[in-house]
Amino acid sequence: MNAGESQRTPWILGVSGASGTPYAAAVLRALLEAGQSVDLVVSRASRLTLLDETGVSFRDAHWREDLRAWLSQGADGTPGAFADVDVSDVRHWSAGDLAAGPSSGSYPARGMLIVPASTACVAGVALGLSKDLLQRAAGVTLKERRPLVVALRETPLSGSTLRQLVALDDAGATVLPASPAFYAGARHLQHLVDFVAGRALDAVGVPHRLYRRWEGDLGAARSA
Ligand SMILES: Cc1cc2nc3c(=O)[nH]c(=O)nc-3n(C[C@H](O)[C@H](O)[C@H](O)COP(=O)(O)O)c2cc1C
């Protein structure tokens, strides 16, 4: 690339095998709506949760088609709930491809969001295992001092997971449990999903309109 050419600097979105693939879809749609580039890494295990939760089989060879089907689906499974999303600024890397761009600190990236994050993923990143591209990219994000959001989905939590979450926090990550709130006037499943997605984007400073912010008026959400 010549000096002066603008460089694509994406957010890396890692989707691991915890329940909650609608959270990942909401984050991805909102990043694209905000004009951000996205590099997508979908773990092997998350293909099972995606199939279970949406009926979409995510195939490396047909990822664009599968991603469109996933993103168009509402959190309650309604097909076509979202208009066709333009995924032309999404780049997909296979989770087994440890030579992929995001496995190096010299690859330009703004930071990374792991949504949802499994306890296995939390352990792998906390211990620096790099067992796949998702974990390697997260380790790179930490060592490069870029923002890392870990949206864990599990309950209850074991002592070892709690200690690993503290290690991630110490290393500079934002630990953001996928725990929807009800104060923002949620009336549908999608609103609860969008709340968590919106808080993930808040953590990395990307503007969005995913949920209504608290303004100090008790009951305002119910009267709106
Ligand atoms: C249907 C299904 C739902 C799962 N939900 C969770 C979950 O909510 N949280 C979690 O930590 N693991 C969950 N798991 C287990 C993870 O998929 C498993 O630990 C896997 O090894 C994670 O690998 P990954 O981090 O490489 O994606 C679930 C597995 C399946 C099949």
CA of 154 to the centre of ligand 1 (A): 9
Ligand 1 interacting residues, C-beta cut-off 6 A: 16-19, 43, 45-46, 48-49, 52, 118-121, 153-154
Q: Could you tell me what percentage of the chain is helix, strand and coil, using 3-state DSSP and rounding each to the nearest 5?
A: 40, 15, 45
> Superfamily assignment of 11-223 in CATH?
Flavin prenyltransferase-like (3.40.50.1950)
Contact 114, 138 (CB under 8 A): yes
Pocket test for ligand 1, best of 58, 118, 155 (most atoms within 8 A of CB): 118
What's the pLDDT tens digit per position in 117-155?
Answer: 999 999 999 999 999 999 999 999 999 999 999 999 999
Nearest residue to 94 via CA among 105, 85, 103, 83: 103
What's the pLDDT tens digit per position in 18-77?
Answer: 999 999 999 999 999 999 999 999 999 999 999 999 999 999 999 999 999 999 999 999
Provide the pLDDT confidence category of residue 224 given band limits of 50, 70 and 90.
Answer: low
The pTM for the full model equals 0.96
* Measured CA distances, 9 to 39, 50, 97, 106 (Å): 9, 27, 20, 11
What's the pLDDT tens digit per position in 106-123?
Answer: 999 999 999 999 999 999
Asked if pLDDT for residue 80 goes beyond 80, the answer is yes
Reading the block at residue 208, the tokens are 């969005």
Distance CA(33)–CA(207), nearest Å, equals 9
CA of 17 to the centre of ligand 1 (A): 4
What are the DSSP calls for 106-128, one per residue?
TS--SEEEEEEE-HHHHHHHHHT
Atom from ligand 1 closest to the CA of residue 43: 27
